[in-house]
Amino acid sequence: MAGLPHNKMAMDPALVRVGNMVQNRYKYFRWTKRTAGISAVYIFAIPAIIGYLGYQNDGLWDLRAKRRGDIISER
């Protein structure tokens, strides 16, 4: 029981290939119109939308020291 190899498993070739692809992704990456567009959305558009929504709601809600029946809207 102590010396037997109980952890032998057959590795799935598809999972091994996906693991290698994930580890070596930087070697095969190329800038195309599609990857540049997706990167621009994640770098500029999404933070701009979140910033705009945050700026519009800044100071609108005050949740500190409120009691039952008090309104949370400050405007």
Phi, psi for residue 3 in degrees, rounded to 5:
-100, 0
Quick check: 75 and 62 in contact, CB under 8 A?
A: no
Q: Report the candidate in 74, 47, 75 with the shortest Cα–Cα distance to residue 62.
A: 74
pLDDT given for residue 37 in this prediction: 96
Quick check: 47 and 36 in contact, CB under 8 A?
A: no
pLDDT in tens, the chain (75 residues): 556 666 677 788 899 999 999 999 999 899 999 999 999 999 999 999 999 999 998 877 776 777 787 777 766
Q: What angle do CA 28, 43, 38 make, to 5 degrees?
A: 50
